[in-house]
Amino acid sequence: MSINLLDFDAKGLTGFCAEIGEKPFRARQLLRWIHRAGEADFDAMSDLAKGLREKLSAAAVIEPPKVISDHTAPDGTRKWLLSVGAGNGIETVYIPEKSRGTLCISSQVGCALACAFCSTGRQGFNRNLTVAEIIGQLWWANKALTETFTSEAGRERPVTNIVMMGMGEPLTNFENVVTSLDLMLDDNAYGLSRRRVTVSTSGIIPAMDRLRERCPVALAVSLHAPNDALRDQLVPINRKYPIRELLAACERYLQSAPRDFITFEYVMLDGVNDSMAQAHELVQLVRDIPCKFNLIPFNPFPDSGFRRSSANAVSRFRDVLMEAGLVTTVRKTRGDDIAAACGQLAGKVLDKTRRVHRSIAEAAG
């Protein structure tokens, strides 16, 4: 069985090159061809010796997840449904803005944390993604977007920012996510700044501490409630890692973080967590943590049991936080008409991938 070179960071590629009798500098060349150039054909790697290209063709492949569907919303948001085999699908979303292009990457098929307001959690958990399946989303997006991308503000690539905010809890797939982060940061691969790569977590405290030691990038924490009683209901992992312990982990993380603040994400749920009293409680909760808030209008999905907070409620909540000196933004809802908005991913992924695979089987049979 061929080895997928997308599974390797620099260290892994160096080890692979040694196994096939090649020197370490070949790993750097391969990194540049695979990730900088987006090349999957070994014969096109012109500065590699013919003998090495033959070795690579015999032993390895460069194989990202296969694209099942590709949709672009009127606002330019683009969503890919990618197959990762056995009827499993993941979703990747590109959000273009004037000065940057952000790619939202998945880390798991489904999610085990079952947050009450998230459609991905309703799908359940199937498995962790491999490094090739995680970094393959960035590899594919750069390749696909470059075909239609016009340089803006001196950008060389369409993807300038990464957020690990797609399907899954990144920190419960720690090793594969960190290896993927290493590739994102590697100057021979994607060369992104730590400040431009964000990992979002619901609060897996031991893994937050490990990330601080191994690969500190920007951190976003899904908070969604100002107290344990409510967060226990909305984010069940809170029962294991309650808010005070989570905030202590955030303080530790800031010692190594590339940014001097933590971003707290807060989905606005009508009549659940959007009252003025809760806003004031939130201010007191985080008063000792350098942070900013990202208020996220809830994106409805069938049978969710929740409603989106009104625009007035969101504005009043924001004003309380800002008057207390907390930097607060309200996330603009992007891609909701193609189910690519926050919390909407994978609502029908399993059904769609099974339908596609069934169609392929019927056509072949």
Residue 129 is labelled as binding a ligand: no
Centre a 10 Å sphere on the Cβ of residue 26 and count the other Cβ atoms it contains: 20
Please say if 17 is a catalytic residue: no
Q: Is 265 annotated as a binding residue?
A: no
Q: Is 54 a catalytic residue?
A: no
Asked whether residue 115 is marked as a ligand-binding residue, the answer is: yes
Q: Is 299 annotated as a binding residue?
A: yes
Annotated active-site residue in 22, 91, 133, 265: 91
Dist. CA 223–CA 232, nearest whole Å: 11
275 has binding-site annotation = no
Catalytic residue among 17, 215, 250, 342: 342
- Residue 291 is assigned to a ligand binding site: no
CB crowding 43-64: b at 16 or more within 10 Å, else e: eebeebeeebbebbeeebebbb
**Helices 311-323 and 276-285: crossing angle, nearest 10°?**
30
Q: Is 211 annotated as ligand-binding?
A: no
Q: Quick check: 183 and 9 in contact, CB under 8 A?
A: yes
What DSSP letter does each residue of 240-287 carry, written as one string? Answer: TS-HHHHHHHHHHHHTT-SSSSEEEEEEEBTTTT-SHHHHHHHHHHTT
| 118 annotated to a ligand binding site | yes
DSSP class of residue 308 equals B
111 annotated ligand binder: yes
* Residue at 102: amino acid letter: T
Residue 224 among known ligand-binding residues: yes
**Catalytic machinery residues:** 91, 342
The binding site comprises: 111, 115, 118, 168-169, 200, 222-224, 299
Binding residues for S-adenosyl-L-methionine, by number, are 168-169, 200, 222-224, 299
Per the annotation, binding residues for [4Fe-4S] cluster are 111, 115, 118
